Structure 1
């Protein structure tokens, strides 16, 4: 039940741009922000004890953002959601570059992978790549939120950006195989 709810809440979060686009004509931004606040608080509640501090901080930032957006009742503020998520995630990736283990190395270890010196170097560079891509996505999302139509914003933030992430992930999987063969990582 808990897993089903977490998956449902995550899917609703991913569908956020499409939901805003389809419903903004009939619903005030404050209602969307209030629903987002409830979803965020539920995610925070159900992830307690399972989330690391980074996930908790992002959820708290999103709860504050949702609360403020509900108060100011602004469509533009609603459009800031993908911007804030992108910059928060970019920061999470980037901050771990200053730690002993990068985020991708940490995730690899959790998955049971053995991390060689070459793999450590590779995961650190890949973490940097994702930090840059996420920051760039934040800038692009900010541009669309500020200057584009709602339809264009929803298309980029709710579809095209996900395709870009999937493409990067797919290319990285292919390159990783090459890297492993070449360097034995």
Structure 2
């Protein structure tokens, strides 16, 4: 099985496994699923500083879950992922080019100044998304039932991300129509 497919499958199954397994399987054994999820991501990640910190953070969560035999560290993984994405996107705003500009230049190397500003705003919008999504993930981990945590982090968060991608795509089409006409 290709690494990206396995990683995607594990990432989607992870919240469901925590929900279904929390009363049946000791958290230290569920931690193995997080460890496997992280391990399958490593070959697909560019080994950047952010990727190393994210992997290290996940390993800390696994270690705490195993040592304390507690499910909370496992439920904090989506918070870690949102924090890592916020750090990567936010850092790109500071040091430039913005994360979305870098992606846009792969398809359009001579991005006009209006495109640079647009991609910067999209990067900022993703930063806001990661703050809000991470805060909700934290709230569900600390204060909600395992079912609510799984529903949000395993279904709703992905739906919101898809809506963000879709909405940005429609705005991009409109932007291109207005600026390339």
Same fold by TM (over 0.5)?
Answer: yes
> What is the aligned partner in structure 2 of residue 29 from structure 1?
27
The alignment of Structure 1 onto Structure 2 pairs a total of residues equal to: 180
Structure 1 stretches (4+) deviating beyond 4 angstroms? none
Alignment RMSD = 1.9
Higher mean C-alpha displacement, 96-105 vs 60-69: 60-69
Which of 88, 108, 112 aligns to 1:113? It is 108
The answer as to whether partners of 1:58 and 1:88 remain within 8 angstroms in 2 is yes
* Separation in 1, partners of 2:160, 2:40: 29
SS at match of 1:101: coil
The answer as to whether partners of 1:37 and 1:67 remain within 8 angstroms in 2 is no
Matched ranges for 1:147-158 at <5 A: 147-158=143-154
* Separation in 2, partners of 1:163, 1:41: 25
Q: Which runs of 5+ in 2 are unaligned?
A: none
SS at match of 1:64: helix
The CA deviation string for residues 4-39 of structure 1, in whole angstroms up to 9 with x for no partner, is 133202320232111111222211111111331233
The answer as to whether partners of 2:86 and 2:131 remain within 8 angstroms in 1 is yes
> What is the aligned partner in structure 1 of residue 36 from structure 2?
38
SS at match of 1:15: helix
Q: Which runs of 5+ in 1 are unaligned?
A: none
* Structure 1 residues 146 and 127: CA distance shift in structure 2, 3 A: same
Which of 88, 95, 98 aligns to 1:99? It is 95
> What is the aligned partner in structure 2 of residue 126 from structure 1?
122
The CA deviation string for residues 38-66 of structure 1, in whole angstroms up to 9 with x for no partner, is 3323432x247x44333233222222222
The answer as to whether partners of 1:41 and 1:63 remain within 8 angstroms in 2 is no
Displacement after TM superposition at 1:159 (Å)? 0.3
> What is the aligned partner in structure 1 of residue 52 from structure 2?
56
